[in-house]
Amino acid sequence: MDKTVVVNFRNMISKSFPIGTTLYEVSKSFQKHFNYPILVARVNNDIMDLSEKLTQNCNIDFYDRSSTIGNGVYARSLYFMLVLAVKKILGNNADVIIEHSIDKGVYCEITGEDIDKPIIEKIENKMHEIVQEGHLFTKINVSRYDTIRYFKKIKRMDKVNALKYISNSYINLYRLDNLYDYFYSEMAYSTKDINDFKLTYIKNNVFVLSYPDIYNPECTLDYVHHKKLFDAFLDYTKWGRVLNISTAADLNKAVSTGKYDDLIRLAEAYFNSQLTRVADEIASRRKDIKIVLIAGPTSSGKTTTSKKLEIYLQSHGLKTHQISLDNYFLNREDTPKDKNGNYDFESIRAIDLELFNQHLVKLLNNEKVLLPEFNFVTGKREYKNNWLQLGENDIIIIEGLHALNEELTMSIERKHKYHIYISPLTQLNIDIHNRIHTSDTRKLRRIVRDNKYRGYSVSDTLKMWDKIRDSEEKHIFKYQDLADVIINSALVYELGVLKTYVEPLLFSVDEDDEVYPEAIRLINFLRSFLPIPSDNVPNDSILREFIGGSCFYEK
């Protein structure tokens, strides 16, 4: 009689299966609890491909594309299908670079062949054929040495260079049809489960691959072109290529040859050049622009940017005044509540918009205004003789969650406002098929800052992340097109520096912690980078806002 194992699904349902049953077969018993095809399993707090087999009694859960974990699997599987389709349509000499996120998809670029819209349509049709054919994503454990030899043979030097800096003795490769590739995290079981996507041709071999996300898991939305964001990514990508730093391996080569100091200086100069251009534009329009509003997702470096921008503006003879939106919170008893009955401090309705706009109008009319100060202990606004009156060359700087929302400053004419959207829009990839998520850069920054300055553990920060992302989706991203300029706060060298701070912290997460799989994912991600000492990071760098040593403040 075959031995059986017992699986406990979400501590609610227990079922027995023959030992050696694949997780894919097990998942069929629980598919009715999900709206979309199950893509990956969590077994005793380890994330596993559905091709893995049961070996012992375990607690189990599954994820579809509506979850963060499942959506990551969906995306990676789709990237591999895209690579296969490109090869089938254009031949083995062609390839696709899968880069940064844009709208509800990713920016992609074909290499080796010139393409146009009809070719992109052929590639998309081939992907749909691959879906219908139901190819399996097969994981193969291969020695690192043999993997490097294989990729050298097929002239995939981006993979060779990436694997050079990974110390693992064995590497997980995936096979799809007759194509082998390296991806550093889990894949779906079959292409039949990756059936919703769109390709949108842009120009010059560039297109966008769109797919359902956790906010719209039911279908793929049409791509919406955000020109300023698109151009900001494109500019930084071109700049990286000029430096010959497009992948983690390129960065590691600079580190291993001792050239990272030059890279630090170049990255800081690039960021500062953006502030120079912004300050020049504001100064040239000083008769009109009186309010500068800065917004961006968490850990974008808004505080340092606003302080540095003040210096650049002051160099033009402008006098700056920072006004904190926090001081315009409604008194606690008047604060709106969310659906759970908790105070919703992130709602724009938590701000006294009427008073805030009254003060702005008076200030722009050269009237003297007594500014409030919010007492977070008593939950009430107070007034402590903090008067402000603007002169001819004075400018107000406002940084906050709702800064790009026109409702915040509805009483002020548009010509008097200058909106800045800031985010770290990294151009780096692990290799041409393994992209680096912008949100991962911000997440690592946030982990370091929260631990250093706010007393939060890695677990605390990771447990908050989904709520943080929900807030960004609701209050920030949808207003990015209203910005006059987009500032890219990514630093091409920063992941090497962040690794020295964040990697030890990630190892503190307990194996039974719900965020343990995410900590392991980040540890595996960071293995692609060599550490960079922080000694030569300037004290006015955005990175200092997170790792400490900023000349602007020490929290």
Q: CB-based burial of residue 97 (10 Å sphere; 0-12 exposed, 13-18 middle, 19+ buried)?
A: buried
pLDDT value of position 555: 47
CA-to-CA distance for 384 and 289, rounded, in angstroms?
28
Which among 225, 255, 290 is the end of a domain?
225
How is 126-170 classified by DSSP, letter by letter? HHHHHHHHT-B-EEEEEEHHHHHHHHHHTT-HHHHHHHHT---SE
Residue 228's closest CA among 530, 477, 512, 523?
477
Which letter does DSSP use for residue 551 in this model? S
Contacting residues for 478 by C-beta, under 8 A, at least 6 apart: none
CB 368 within 8 A of CB 389: yes
Condensed to tens digits (0 to 9), the pLDDT of residues 34-71 reads 999 999 999 999 999 999 999 999 999 999 999 999 99
Condensed to tens digits (0 to 9), the pLDDT of residues 263-301 reads 999 999 999 999 999 999 999 999 999 999 999 999 999
* Residue 421 β-bridge partners: 295, 486
Which letter does DSSP use for residue 377 in this model? T
Are both 295 and 206 inside the same structural domain?
Answer: no
Widest CA span in the chain: 90
Structure tokens at 448: 């370091």
pLDDT value of position 1: 46
How is 399-422 classified by DSSP, letter by letter? ESTTTT-GGGGTTS-GGGEEEEEE
Are both 54 and 163 inside the same structural domain?
Answer: no
CA-to-CA distance for 524 and 518, rounded, in angstroms?
10
pLDDT value of position 112: 83
Burial 130-158 (b: 16+ CB within 10 A, else e): bbeeebbbebeebeeeebbebbeeeebeb
pLDDT value of position 554: 56
The three-class DSSP label of residue 330 is coil
Condensed to tens digits (0 to 9), the pLDDT of residues 81-109 reads 999 999 999 998 899 999 888 888 999 99
Residue 296's closest CA among 287, 306, 285?
306
Which among 30, 46, 64 is the end of a domain?
64
pLDDT value of position 2: 63
Residue 401 domain flag: no
CB 427 within 8 A of CB 407: no
The three-class DSSP label of residue 487 is strand
CATH number at residue 14: 3.10.20.30
Are both 538 and 494 inside the same structural domain?
Answer: yes
Residue 554 domain flag: no
Residue 111 domain flag: yes
Residue 186 domain flag: yes
> Confidence band (pLDDT; 50, 70, 90) for 123?
very high
pLDDT value of position 104: 85
pLDDT value of position 11: 85
Residue 194's closest CA among 39, 390, 377, 378?
39
CA angle 311, 316, 321 (to 5 degrees): 50
Instruction: Please give the average per-residue pLDDT across 480-508, as a whole number.
Output: 96
CB 14 within 8 A of CB 7: yes
Q: Give all strands (DSSP E) within 1-94, no chain letters.
A: 4-9, 13-18, 40-43, 46-48, 58-63
Residue 398 domain flag: no
CB 467 within 8 A of CB 474: no
Residue 330 domain flag: yes
Are both 273 and 355 inside the same structural domain?
Answer: no
* Residue 15 β-bridge partners: 7
Structure tokens at 391: 């002169």
CA-to-CA distance for 397 and 360, rounded, in angstroms?
12
pLDDT value of position 449: 95
Instruction: Please give the average per-residue pLDDT across 407-426, as a whole number.
Output: 95
Structure tokens at 103: 């709208």
> Confidence band (pLDDT; 50, 70, 90) for 20?
very high
Q: Percent of the chain beyond pLDDT 70?
A: 99
CA-to-CA distance for 297 and 347, rounded, in angstroms?
15
Are both 300 and 177 inside the same structural domain?
Answer: no
CB 436 within 8 A of CB 236: no
Contacting residues for 189 by C-beta, under 8 A, at least 6 apart: 24, 39, 49, 50, 51, 136, 137
Are both 430 and 508 inside the same structural domain?
Answer: yes
CA-to-CA distance for 398 and 359, rounded, in angstroms?
13
* Residue 199 β-bridge partners: 209
What would the 3-class secondary structure string for 272-315 be? HHHHHHHHHHHHHCCCCCCEEEEECCCCCCHHHHHHHHHHHHHC
Residue 525's closest CA among 404, 441, 456, 417?
441
Are both 218 and 326 inside the same structural domain?
Answer: no
Residue 402 domain flag: no
Condensed to tens digits (0 to 9), the pLDDT of residues 234-256 reads 898 889 889 999 999 999 999 99
Condensed to tens digits (0 to 9), the pLDDT of residues 184-239 reads 889 999 999 999 999 999 988 999 999 999 999 999 999 998 888 888 888 988 89
pLDDT value of position 135: 97
Are both 78 and 100 inside the same structural domain?
Answer: yes
How is 341-374 classified by DSSP, letter by letter? SSB-TTSGGGB-HHHHHHHHHHHHTT--EEEEEE
> Confidence band (pLDDT; 50, 70, 90) for 180?
very high
Are both 304 and 450 inside the same structural domain?
Answer: yes
Instruction: Please give the average per-residue pLDDT across 343-361, as a whole number.
Output: 93
> Which structural domain, as residue segments, surrounds residue 86?
69-225
How many folded domains does the chain comprise? Answer: 4
Are both 424 and 464 inside the same structural domain?
Answer: yes
Residue 403 domain flag: no
Which letter does DSSP use for residue 14 in this model? E
Are both 333 and 191 inside the same structural domain?
Answer: no
Place of tokens 């779906």: 188
CA-to-CA distance for 493 and 268, rounded, in angstroms?
10
Are both 419 and 476 inside the same structural domain?
Answer: yes
pLDDT value of position 527: 92
CATH number at residue 167: 3.30.980.10
Condensed to tens digits (0 to 9), the pLDDT of residues 335-344 reads 998 888 888 8
